[in-house]
Structure 1
Amino acid sequence: MSTAAHPAGLFCAWRHPTPKGAAGRCIGARTDLPVDRRKAKRLAHHIRAVARRKALPRVVATSPLARCRDVGRWLRRFGFRHVVDARLAELDFGAWEGRLWCAIEQLEVDAWARDLAGQAPGGGERVQALLARVAAVHRQPSAALLVTHGGWLSAAAWLMRGEPKAPTAGEWPRAPGYGRCVRFADLSSTDDRVAA
């Protein structure tokens, strides 16, 4: 059965488990941090259970970054087809990548906050481009089960609001916690949570 045949309400997206070495740092598309092997396996078991319960195809799409891809590798061991989809990657923070947030010039952060959608943080990717990637996945998903990132899920939550304007920093949705599942239709948090 094609995943495109599923209504949006059946799409589930998880934020990856807690990455090693991320505390206090700007972690985006260029910073490929690992996750604890046990946490990746635990999330994979949880996704497998949700797929079984919701009768979803045994296909998972993940970001190419290790913190998501490692969950997909476990699912592949469990008999799933694993698709790596670059559209699921985190926002690219350019020169800010991997740096401590407290070491990034406050004037640069303030400039980004004033124009969240149009300013490229650290010369990386604009939030407008992230929103376009999320919309593309919504229109043409690579799977009903996704493993992605906090920024990606915040962008999806913004799009689900149906706002005609660009988001401001004050309006930007908070990212779900590590290991949290979000339903793609309304992106409201579900009770499907694993320890992250």
Structure 2
Amino acid sequence: MILYIWRHPKPITAGGLCIGQTDVEVDKRKLKRLANKIQRFVRLQQLPKVIWVSPLQRSLKVGEILAQRGFECRVAPKLAEIHFGDWDGQSWKQIEKQQIDEWCNNFAHFAPDHGESLQQLFNRAESWLDKIAAEQKDSPVLAIGHAGWINSAKMIATGQEVPNLAINWPHSVGYLSCSHIDI
């Protein structure tokens, strides 16, 4: 299975904040820009008009635009970004340095209070990828996701383990960019 997954547009008010599952707004023009990009890609590649999205509005709203244009929009909670728990939506400056250090030094297994660890995100992403691969077989899958989830899926696809140290985490994919992942 080939997964084509686009990262959502840049949120309006995310600068300096720890954003995981906090539902932040995106400029409507940027939502339409990504929808146009996906629609053009699907037309040129002659792909099925089915798009998977996370329930977070920075992904979901692009799917809703595409649904108005004849796409089938499927919402998958397992596509959501990592849940940072009590950190989610907070300024990085407000989070205790000791907690951030603990996270960076136990990157795979540390979870902020009421949140999930990177290992849990990997497990969630792998579960969704396995389910979709079994259903889709050789059909390409289109999705709109989030940087942490996309990096996790790329690492899973290449057989990499969850990194134990934050320094070993890859750079985030760019907003509106498409990642091609062979599962």
- Decide: shared fold, TM above 0.5: yes
2:140 is aligned with 1:148: no
| CA distance in structure 1 between the aligned counterparts of 2:127 and 2:143, rounded to whole angstroms | 14
Cα offsets for 1:54-98 (capped at 9, x unmatched): 222100010100010010011001100001100100000011011
Question: Which residue of 85, 89, 96 corresponds with 1:94?
Answer: 85
Any runs of at least 4 consecutive aligned residues in structure 1 with deviations exceeding 6 A, and if so which?
none
Equivalent residue, structure 1, for 2:13? 21
| CA distance in structure 1 between the aligned counterparts of 2:46 and 2:123, rounded to whole angstroms | 29
Equivalent residue, structure 1, for 2:156? 159
Question: Which residue of 100, 109, 114 corresponds with 1:118?
Answer: 109
Deviation at 1:160, TM superposition (A): 2.4
In structure 2, list runs of 5 or more residues that go unmatched: none
CA RMSD, 1 decimal: 1.6
Residue correspondences, number: 176
The higher relative CO (CA closer than 8 Å, separation ≥ 6) is in 2
2:159 is aligned with 1:170: no
Deviation at 1:157, TM superposition (A): 2.1
Contact 2:118-2:162 at 8 Å conserved across structures: no
Equivalent residue, structure 2, for 1:78? 69
Counterpart of 2:9, as a letter, is P
Instruction: Report the TM-score, using the length of structure 2 for normalisation.
Output: 0.91
Equivalent residue, structure 2, for 1:194? none
Deviation at 1:123, TM superposition (A): 3.7
Q: % of aligned pairs identical?
A: 39
In structure 1, list runs of 5 or more residues that go unmatched: 1-6, 187-196
| CA distance in structure 2 between the aligned counterparts of 1:122 and 1:182, rounded to whole angstroms | 31
